[in-house]
Structure 1
Amino acid sequence: MNTIEWTPAGLCLLDQRVLPAEEVYRTYTTYEAVAEAIRSMVVRGAPAIGVAAAFGIALGVQSSVAAGENLPAAFERICQTLAATRPTAVNLFWAIDRMRRKFEQAVADRLAGDELAQALVAEAQAIQAEDVAVCRQIGRHGAALVPDGATVLTHCNAGALATAGYGTALGVIRAAVEAGKQVAVYADETRPFLQGARLTAWELMRDGIPVTLICDNMAGHFMKLGRISCVVVGADRIAANGDTANKIGTYMVAALAHRHRLPFYVAAPISTFDLTLETGAGIPIEDRAAQEVTHIGSHCIAPPNVAVANPAFDVTPHELITAIITERGVAYPPFTATLRQLVANA
């Protein structure tokens, strides 16, 4: 599915806020509008945020060229606006840094005007194409870890909707199915934004992969009954020791999997690694609006003025993670050594 598409009219995004009830595509023509689309979760998922930000930068440079602005100053303003949208997913900052390097190279090569703007569009398109290829590689490496006949539990949405296509955690499941394995999925609903209920279930049903939707507080029950073979989740940032930030509730699932001696796998691209952080204690955790907890859609389900805490992510300690699946292979503990090895194998 095309969740992100560059068109002559601008950047077209599938609005994930209204799925599965409606399949609405919106076109964005300014970097400010792309930044707001990221902030408001029209587009979400760490790799997809990075791709959208890259195209947002390309849009901003196109406009700055047309307006005859001072490009270096305008470029920094564009990057800062996009970087301020969501703090946890490191892929956002990875993509911005890559676009910055391309801009600096283009300037050094004395590209200007439309040529420079087109060079940045091409770089954003390359990031998008590479993301799909990376997800397919993650899928191939991860499929070997999923037994034939397995039932996989996943949390949040780490599928085609969260990437430029195919997915990370769902990419592993898709690749296992493509390899001929019989695989079924239990999808946590993933409160409060319901990405599992609205997005993961929708994706898997479109693909004809058997999926059962469960409430977040049912995971332990089904593990105890022996209904779950393994857990596969995505990631928004992975520290040098393997501590992993992912959608809120992931830590709880990891702890339950550890209690029931089930493999707990994280599927993520190398761009999700943040080796500047020794542990997950340094990962910034985004706090989101109280209304996401007190309301479902426009319907209020809580007493007026109740105090609300709404962290969007939590950090799963590395000791609860069986392996981290990347496009360059599978990393096993001790992650401090194996993650650096994978990065060095560029």
Structure 2
Amino acid sequence: MSNPAIETNENTLDRYDRIRPIRWTGEALELLDQRLLPFTVQYLCCDDSDAVAEAIRSLAVRGAPAIGIAAAWGTVLASNGVDAIDGPSAAVALQPAMQRLDEARPTAVNLRWALNRMRRVLEASGADWRARLLAEAAAIASEDLAANRRMGELGAQLIAPGSGVLTHCNTGSLATAGYGTALGVIRAGVALQRIDKVFAGETRPWMQGSRLTVWELQQDGIDATLIADAAASHLMKQGDVDWVIVGADRICANGDVANKIGTYQLAITARFHGKQVMVVAPSSTVDMDTPSGERIDIEERDPGELLGVSGSRTVAEGVQAWNPVFDVTPAALIDAIVTEKGVVLQPDAAKMRVMFDA
């Protein structure tokens, strides 16, 4: 039986880009439900904006770029119930729905970025506001895919042939419009025969690495070895990893990076072992209005997520848990930030201004 999440392409590079997690039908938004992977491939049908907000909140759709794309389509769905003569009046009517979308996840800057794009289009539109809103959502999705391809090329150029890489969480097609950010670099590196070994951390507590990343790479025929999160330092000591390649949910003006919890400790151990760290994210993830990681609101989720696995409790009753979803990696521990606009090596505030202030 064919996999409904996979597209078949013949191009060599496209061979590693076959999964599409977000589908617009013209009437509804279909989201590949990532809570069910890897054993069930099923799309969640959202026919209103509140369903999209709940899908974002519940992690049915996840990954900073994918969240932004979903929110853009959620705005289109919200417009179905709006009767407005022009874009500015539609923007007023849509504000409650857009606010609910914005509040679904607080850390990923792409969510607000996409909603702001949709809002600006409305404010500049006349009677054609519906068509322009629809076109903008489609543009956000198509631009993301193109940016991911470009980042893959740029990042792969930094990797010496024969390298081993370690990634964390899921930063691939499942987290974007397609191809991926950090996994896009890995896809390009494998296709260009620069990467010989791929390792993925399991990424507790939602297991995005073990449930999603290795499954996604398997679909594309890329061999990957899963490791326990706690094995990363030992793996680097063994000499099998040259680069840690991760995504980002927010990149600050000074180059600090918020990403999935566990990224910070990977960067620390990479520096100790003389390995390099690459952060790969679209420029929409760069937040020049946030001066440093100290100003980032770190999302905390239900502590109960740490108390069991797949719904089965593994911890004694009465035990407390702390469940931050992200951590902040200081710019001083990052060797390269790769966006579709270019590469910032050894990032700092001055280099970030040169690349992104314009």
Taking structure 1 as the reference length, the TM-score comes to 0.94
Instruction: Choose 285-294 or 246-255, whichever is displaced more.
Output: 285-294
Q: Quick one: which amino acid aligns to residue 105 of structure 1? A: A
1:183 aligned counterpart, secondary structure:
strand
Q: Quick one: which amino acid aligns to residue 90 of structure 1? A: V
Q: Quick one: which amino acid aligns to residue 73 of structure 1? A: V
> Is this contact kept in 2: 1:267–1:325, CA < 8 A?
yes
Which residue of structure 2 aligns with residue 269 of structure 1? Answer: 282
User: Any unmatched runs of 5+ in structure 2?
Assistant: 1-18
> Is this contact kept in 1: 2:253–2:352, CA < 8 A?
yes
Q: Quick one: which amino acid aligns to residue 278 of structure 1? A: P
- In the alignment, the residues of structure 2 paired with residue 304 and residue 9 of structure 1 have an alpha-carbon distance, to the nearest angstrom, of 46
Matched, 1:237 2:256: no
> Is this contact kept in 1: 2:336–2:347, CA < 8 A?
no
Which residue of structure 2 aligns with residue 82 of structure 1? Answer: 101
User: What pairs up with 1:41-80 in 2 under 5 angstroms?
Assistant: 41-65=59-83, 71-80=90-99
1:338 aligned counterpart, secondary structure:
helix
Q: CA deviation at 1:253?
A: 0.4
User: What pairs up with 1:82-121 in 2 under 5 angstroms?
Assistant: 82-106=101-125, 110-111=126-127, 115-121=128-134
Which residue of structure 1 aligns with residue 142 of structure 2? Answer: 129
Which residue of structure 1 aligns with residue 48 of structure 2? Answer: 30
Question: Percent of aligned positions with the same letter in both sequences?
Answer: 50
Q: Quick one: which amino acid aligns to residue 110 of structure 2? A: N
Q: CA deviation at 1:304?
A: 1.8
> Is this contact kept in 1: 2:36–2:42, CA < 8 A?
yes
Q: Quick one: which amino acid aligns to residue 74 of structure 1? A: A
Let me know the Cα RMSD of the aligned residues: 1.5
- In the alignment, the residues of structure 1 paired with residue 172 and residue 160 of structure 2 have an alpha-carbon distance, to the nearest angstrom, of 20
Distance change >3 Å, CA 344–CA 277, structure 1 → 2: closer
Which residue of structure 2 aligns with residue 303 of structure 1? Answer: 316
1:314 aligned counterpart, secondary structure:
strand
Matched pairs, number: 337
Which residue of structure 2 aligns with residue 4 of structure 1? Answer: 22
Q: Which among 261, 272, 297 is matched to residue 248 of structure 1?
A: 261
> Is this contact kept in 2: 1:9–1:27, CA < 8 A?
no
> Is this contact kept in 1: 2:48–2:74, CA < 8 A?
yes
Matched, 1:160 2:173: yes
1:9 aligned counterpart, secondary structure:
coil
Instruction: Choose 323-332 or 334-343, whichever is displaced more.
Output: 334-343
Which residue of structure 2 aligns with residue 141 of structure 1? Answer: 154
Q: CA deviation at 1:65?
A: 3.4
Distance change >3 Å, CA 122–CA 15, structure 1 → 2: same
> Is this contact kept in 2: 1:183–1:210, CA < 8 A?
no
What do the CA deviations read for 1:149-208 (whole angstroms, capped 9, x no partner)? 111000101111011100000000111122233432110000011000001001111111
What do the CA deviations read for 1:58-81 (whole angstroms, capped 9, x no partner)? 100122239xxx734321111111
User: Any unmatched runs of 5+ in structure 1?
Assistant: none
Q: CA deviation at 1:340?
A: 1.8
What do the CA deviations read for 1:243-301 (whole angstroms, capped 9, x no partner)? 10000000010000010010111001111111111110001100101221112112111
Flag as ranges the 4+ runs of structure 1 deviating above 6 A: none
User: What pairs up with 1:187-266 in 2 under 5 angstroms?
Assistant: 187-266=200-279
- In the alignment, the residues of structure 2 paired with residue 334 and residue 131 of structure 1 have an alpha-carbon distance, to the nearest angstrom, of 23
- In the alignment, the residues of structure 1 paired with residue 200 and residue 234 of structure 2 have an alpha-carbon distance, to the nearest angstrom, of 14
Q: Which among 298, 301, 305 is matched to residue 285 of structure 1?
A: 298
What do the CA deviations read for 1:60-106 (whole angstroms, capped 9, x no partner)? 0122239xxx7343211111111111110001010011000011111
Taking structure 2 as the reference length, the TM-score comes to 0.91
- In the alignment, the residues of structure 2 paired with residue 182 and residue 256 of structure 1 have an alpha-carbon distance, to the nearest angstrom, of 21
Q: Which among 312, 330, 342 is matched to residue 317 of structure 1?
A: 330
Q: Quick one: which amino acid aligns to residue 40 of structure 2? A: E
Q: CA deviation at 1:314?
A: 0.2
Q: CA deviation at 1:344?
A: 4.2
Which residue of structure 1 aligns with residue 193 of structure 2? Answer: 180
- In the alignment, the residues of structure 2 paired with residue 30 and residue 57 of structure 1 have an alpha-carbon distance, to the nearest angstrom, of 9
- In the alignment, the residues of structure 2 paired with residue 183 and residue 330 of structure 1 have an alpha-carbon distance, to the nearest angstrom, of 23
Which residue of structure 1 aligns with residue 15 of structure 2? Answer: none
1:161 aligned counterpart, secondary structure:
helix
